[in-house]
Amino acid sequence: MNENDSSTPAEAARLLPALDADRLVADLMTARDHLWDEQSSHVNGRVSRWAEQDWRCLPVRSPGGDKARTDPGGPGSAEFADTEWLGHMPYVQEVLRSIPGPLYAVRFMDLGPGVVGYRHCDPKFAPDWGMARLHIPVLTHEEATLDLDGGVYRWQPGEFWFGDFSRKHQIQNLGTQHRVHLVVDVLVTPELARLFPADWADYFNGPEVLYNRPAVATTGQERQAARCSFDAPAHLLEIEVFGSLTGPQPQATFSIVDTGTDLAIRSPQDHLFPLVALGGNEYRLVGWSEERTVTTRLDGPRPEVELAYRKGHRSTRLLVPATPAP
């Protein structure tokens, strides 16, 4: 899967239901006196870059519930959890409970006056990659705009929007007031699709959407039996890369280990990337979608691991020999 062409029928869609703009502002004000941290990016298990402009975040859900994590996360060491800020925001809690899918990063994002963002895309934050990014405007004005793949939007408080941010986009705030949105990242599920307009039904019923399965529990015996090592393309854990599973490319050795509570892939750099069990010895990365999974098949005469990259219903797969742990 090496392409970044979007399959969504439009760059944005207004979702159900309408929200209470005044209650959103009231919740926001519980944290408005706090100096928000700069927005950051997260690559390969670490914060890689901080915003160079007045673009600040207050995370209400983050990896491990860390209130200092202003990035959207990704495969890493911890599941997403509520931060202490969310405990003071009863209406935001109510809104988040109404979103039918596993919630990942949820952040109030504040674009300061006079800021023009750089034009970019957020790869793989779209339903064909199993992810959706939702926007809930809280504070805005006429001179705060979003250019999303050529469409210029001025989303208003009380509205609830999906944007395909895997497309090129640019935000700007040419006014004198702050613009604040609550930005919600969520795994795509069939239930989430019902929030979209009726004219999106064919898309969600078609082959372009990657739906995520619910996690299943594992036993200690199952975890012990899944331990192994294998060689694979070196970019296996780099979800930002549109890498291939086939063809000549650098290889590296990975291992699946039992941490005592779950399974994790140990990277060549000795970092642990915990796994979520999907059933049938198949696993996805904690903090990511089923865009990338690993399946262990270790009990036959030729132990192996199957690697899969997905976009919608399409997938590329690679079987590699595995060495079971003693």
Report the pLDDT value the prediction gives residue 3, as an integer from 0 to 100: 56
**CA–CA distance, 146 with 121 (Å, rounded to integer):** 13
Amino acid identity of residue 87, one-letter, is G
DSSP secondary structure letter of residue 214 = P
Report the pLDDT value the prediction gives residue 41, as an integer from 0 to 100: 57
Report the pLDDT value the prediction gives residue 5, as an integer from 0 to 100: 81
Low-confidence residues of the chain: pLDDT under 70: 1-4, 40-54
Domain 12-205 CATH superfamily: B-lactam Antibiotic, Isopenicillin N Synthase; Chain (2.60.120.330)
Summarize pLDDT for 149-171 with one digit per residue, the tens: 999 999 999 999 999 999 999 99
Report the pLDDT value the prediction gives residue 309, as an integer from 0 to 100: 97
Instruction: Tokens for 142, please give them.
Output: 């006429």
For residue 7, give the nearest of 143, 159, 188 by alpha carbon.
Answer: 188
User: Within 10 Å of residue 314's Cβ, how many Cβ atoms?
Assistant: 12
Instruction: Tokens for 12, please give them.
Output: 């944005």
> How far is the CA of 241 from the CAs of 3, 41, 82, 244, 308, in angstroms?
10, 15, 28, 9, 14
For residue 292, give the nearest of 272, 310, 280, 319 by alpha carbon.
Answer: 310
Summarize pLDDT for 63-91 with one digit per residue, the tens: 999 998 999 998 988 999 999 999 999 99
Report the pLDDT value the prediction gives residue 49, as an integer from 0 to 100: 46
Report the pLDDT value the prediction gives residue 241, as an integer from 0 to 100: 84
